[in-house]
Every structure is written in C-alpha cells, then in structure tokens.
Chains A and B, each alone.
Chain A
Amino acid sequence: MTGAGMNRISLLGTSPRNGTMLLGVMIVMVALPYLLGQSWLSITTEMLILALSASALNIMLGYTGMVSFGPAGMYAVGAYTTGVLMEKMGWGMLPATLAAPVMAGLVGALVGWFCVRRSAVYFALLTLAFSQIIWTVVFQWYSVTGGDDGLVSVPVPDFFFEITNCYYFMLAVVSVCLFIIWKIVNSPFGMTLQAIRENPNRVEFIGVNVKRYQLASFVISSVFLGIAGSMFCVFSGSAFPDYAYWVKSADMLVICLLGGIYNFFGPLVGTVVYTVLTKVISGYTMHWHLVLGGIIVLIILAMRKGVVGTLANYWANRKSAAA
C-alpha cells in the first residue's frame, strides 16, 4: 500500500495553531450577521444545519467505514418528530426538539440492528430500503404527517422569525453538537471505530465486538441526524417527505466526499463548497443539475480525497519535501 493511494488522516489534535484558527473562525461566525445580508444569512443558517447532517453521516462513513445510503431517513424522523409534536399535538418547541434525537436514536437502534447484520453493499442496500420505508410511511400517513402536502405551519415561536435570532440559535446548537462529535471521534471509542474501518477482521481479534460498535456508531449518527432534521424543521417551519427521499441521502454523501471523509473538517468544508457551488451555478443557468453532476464526476475522477484530503496531502508532501 503506497502513500499515493491513501488518504492522509490529519491528526488535528490540540495544537496551538489549530486552536487560534478555530477561534478565528468562531469570531467570524459570530460577526456574520453584521457582514451579510438577510438572504445570505439565511443560506448560512441552512449550511450550518447541513454541515451537522454531513458530520453526523461521517461518523458512520468516514470514521467507521460504513457506507449508508439512507441518512435522510433519520434526518426526516427528527424533522417530523418535532414538526408533528408541535403542529399536531401542540407541544412546545423545547420538548419537541428534545424529542427528535430521542426518536431518531430509537429508530436508528431498530434499523441499525437489522442493518449491521450484513456488511458492505448489502448493508448499504438495507439502509436504503429502511429509509425508503420511512419515506413511504411519511408519504402515506396523511393524518399525522400531512402526506405529500407535508407539514407547512409548524408553530415555531416568533423569536425565530428574525433571521439573526435564528442564525445565532442554530450556530449555538450546531457548535455544541459538533463539539460533542469531535470529542467522540477523538476518544478511545472513536479510535476503536477507526480501527474497525481499517480492518474489521483484525479488530475482532483484539477483543472488540465489531457489530456492537457498528450499531453504536449507527445510533450516534442517527441521533445527530435527528437533531439536524429537527433544526431544519424549526428553521423552515415545515417538513416534507422528500427530507427522507434517497436523493437527499445522495446529496449528503456527495457533500462528505466533496470535502473528504477521512477528516473531521471534511464534511464542513464540503457543505460550504456544495452550497456555494449550487447557489452560484443556479444563478448562472437553469440547468444547474447538469453542471453539478459534471462537477461531481470531475471530483470523483480527479480529486477523490475531497478538498480537505487533497489539501492535507499537499501540505504533508510539502513538509516532507522541505525536510
């Protein structure tokens, strides 16, 4: 196995340089409402939620090596849990949003238990099938979910109508979640997940019950996907069946790949690149799906490590060339 074919895993540990970079980013994020107009602020808020979804997916994908075709299902569970509880059952926002990750976690545990019994392509197909079942349930259960019409008048508190408020709230929630995910993937548990990704057979012979850890990874991923879905429901005041459709899952996978899956910041960068790309391209042409498809093809053929992976490789090579 040569360096050319491998993604370098950036050991972004707690070094001072990274700490200042992070602080800089946080300062910019907090200052953004004063720098951007309303519509860009709204887009940024969407990006925050999307970044959380992609990072949640990457717990399974990049860290544990489990390719899931169905993250959208858990995302939708979160969105609809919050939406239905608020619109149809009159719950307040706080309990409704707290219920979302719980529900997503439970569904994730059930679905995950079935899915981890198989591996590789069969695992992926199982996740696809389950997320399509969730889509079907959402689509058909008109009385509860509004079916094809979706939920359109979720009673979000007035506080959120002001985009700046909404932005700061989402920034806080997403930051906390990302921090927790960071902690998890950099812990001994996270290291075990990575070992499972590298060599599931070998890791079984250092005393690890692989299926149990894969299920745990699945559930943790589902919980954060549920939070992301719930946040989007609050942000948009609505929930639609296509939140669960396989195309949304593919979008999340594209974002992870775009940024680079073997790095914590990959999904975050991927979200920014993806959002900017789609907004910019759709500004130029009606046929932006075509251009987006073309770009994805180019990325896969030429830049498989994603943006962060390629950059990390480049820097590492420069360092070793200079040394």
Chain B
Amino acid sequence: MTFESFAGQALAGVSLGMVWFLIAAGLSIIFGTLKVLNLAHGSLYMLGSFCCYQVTVSLAGVPGNFWLAVLVAPLVVALVGGIIEVFLLRPIYKAEMIYQYILTFALVLIIAEACKMIWGTGYHSVKVPWPFQGSVAMFGLSFPIYNLFLIAMGPLVFIALRTLINKTNLGRNIRAVTENREMANALGTNVPQVYTGVFMLGAWLAGLAGSLWPPVSVVMLGSDMAVVIDCFIIVVIGGLGSLAGAFVGALILGLTTAFGLYLIPKLAVAFGFILMIIILIIRPYGLMGEPE
C-alpha cells in the first residue's frame, strides 16, 4: 500500500467517521440519559437528508440555499423528535426495554414510508455548496475540500456539545438527570422537559448529519437501515452515553471500514460487528463508558 493510498483511505475513513459521530452522538446521549435504544435514529438521519434536499430544491437559485437547508432541516427533525418523545415515548419509559425497542422499530416503518410517500423512491442529489467546492492537493492526492470541511465539523460539534453539557445550566440538568433521575426530580429539575430536550438534541444531531452528508453521497430510501446498525456499533464500542466514546468509536469504525474495504472488501462489513462483540465481552461498558 502506497502512502498516497493510505492517506486517501485514512481521510475517507475520517470524514465518514465524523458524520457517523454526529449521528452516534445523538444516539449515545439519548441512551445515556433516557435509557432508550432509539432504533429510529437512522430514520431521523434519513428524514434530515430528505428535508435538506427539499429545501435546496424549493430554494433553487437562492444563493446559500444549502446552508439554509443545513439550518432548517435539523430543526425540522428536532421538532419531529420532540413530538415522538412527548406523545410516544413518554408513556412507556417505565416499560421494559423490548417495548421501547419495538416502538422505535415501528417508527422506522412509519418514517420510511412517509419519506417514500413524499419524495418517491428515486435517488436525489445535492450539490456541493460554495465555498467548499473543488479539491485540494494533499499528500499527492486530490482531496475534496468539502470532505475536509466534514472532518472539521466533527471536533467542532464535539467541542460545542461538551461545552453545552459541562458549562451550561441545561447541561447541568442533563447531567443531573442522567446520573440520578429521582434525585434530580426531588431537587426540582423538570425531568420530563429535560428528557424531551435531550431527545430533540439527539434528533437535531441526526438531522444535521443528514444535511451535511448528501453532497458527498445520494439522498435515498434505505439510508436509514444502512446507518442505524453502524451507529449501534459505534456507541457500543465507545460506551453507551459517552460523548468522547462516540467520537472515538466513530473514528475507529470509519477507519476500520475504509481500510477494510480496501484490504479485504468481502469481510469489511463484518469488522464492525466483530469489534462490537469483542468490546461487549471484555469491556461491556465500552472504551469510555461507565457502569451505572
């Protein structure tokens, strides 16, 4: 393997990983705080990508339409997330895990079908936006600038989230509720509100990822399935509930997938699952998670 191809694979892996991080971060904090395994998280991502496409099409010709889409689409997804949390999840928090799992599975069916009804079964594409068009020469390769932007987004969002969780009032409430729900409730925190807020934040992150990835790929049905299992792998590797874990896990999976596809394409898909199993056996709380 030449250095160029190594670098090329590494960069591809990292940019994929950073987008995965956005989705996985949402999944992780939803599980960390609400203790819900949100199977519909990939569907929220897909919804975000379709909304992004819709906005760019509706505002075609408007300068900066992509960035408007990046602004609007995650908010729409967050709103949908809020509705889901308040009306569908709230009644079953006390129920066993299987009911939450199946309910979110039902949401997968509903959201996928809704997207099909609204946008049809075809592929859609979104153009790479200004000012990140074109490529730049790096390590003797031509690397798309937009991908570099995606790589930068990862740590940016990570730092923003970290600041939110550690330095704001809302973050303090989230941490309190995550650690000890009853205690936080007794101390006056509006726990249901925090739950809704966390779910909406997770949904917003999925929507953001869904808005940022289309220029590199296509907007299509089935992306929900493609994404959700990978995100499960990431949060397990990183640790359910750990933001840094999601970051590390996403990087690991991104790189493993990129190099795996290059080296042993047939089995590359299984690497993630194997990693997941190893982690679950030797360190079930993930690389950075903590036992409850």
Contact = CB atoms under 8 A, between A and B. Distances in A.
* Chain A–chain B contact at Cβ < 8 A: yes
A290 B105 contact: no
A136 B277 CA distance: 15
Contact of B91 (A132, A247, A250, A301): A301
Interface stretch (A26-34, A93-101, A117-125, A210-218): A117-125
A293 B96 CA distance: 19
Report the interface size class on chain A: 35 or more
Given A253-B101, A296-B102, A140 B266 contact: yes
Interface in A36-65: 61
B270 A133 contact: yes
Q: Is the interface of A mostly helix, strand, loop or mixed?
A: helix
Interface residues of B, number: 41
B106 A297 contact: yes
Interface string B110-142: 101110110000000000000000000000000
A294 to B, nearest CB: 7
Given A126-B277, A296-B103, A301 B92 contact: yes
Contacts of B160: none
Nearest to B108: A293
Nearest to A111: B277
A250 B281 contact: no
Interface in A134-149: 136-137, 139-140
Contacts of A250: 39, 101-102, 105
A128 interface: yes
A301 B192 CA distance: 18
A294 B107 CA distance: 8
A273 B270 CA distance: 35
Interface in A47-98: 61, 67, 69
Contact of B274 (A125, A133, A253, A254): A133
B270 A254 contact: no
A243 interface: no
B280 interface: yes
B226 interface: no
A118 B98 CA distance: 16
B246 interface: no
A9 interface: no
A294 B109 CA distance: 9
A136 B98 contact: no
B197 interface: no
B102 A121 contact: no
Contacts of B273: 129-130, 132-133, 136
A257 interface: yes
A292 B109 contact: yes
Contacts of B113: 287, 289-290, 293
Nearest to B117: A287
Contacts of B277: 114, 126, 129-130, 133
B269 interface: yes
Contacts of B37: 121, 124
A131 to B, nearest CB: 9
B280 A124 contact: no
Contact of A300 (B97, B106, B108, B114): B106
Given A287-B113, A289-B109, A125 B232 contact: yes
A122 B114 CA distance: 31
Nearest to A301: B91
A232 B82 CA distance: 41
A289 B280 contact: no
Interface string B49-93: 000000000000000000000000000000000000000100110
Contacts of B263: none
A301 B93 CA distance: 11
Nearest to A296: B106
Contacts of B91: 301
B236 interface: yes
A130 to B, nearest CB: 7
A24 B177 CA distance: 55
A224 interface: no
- 4 nearest A-B residue pairs (beta carbon): A293-B109, A293-B110, A296-B106, A290-B113
Given A67-B101, A257-B98, A296-B109, 16 more contacts: A118-B284, A121-B97, A125-B232, A125-B276, A128-B229, A133-B273, A133-B274, A136-B269, A137-B270, A140-B267, A250-B39, A290-B110, A293-B110, A294-B106, A297-B106, A300-B99
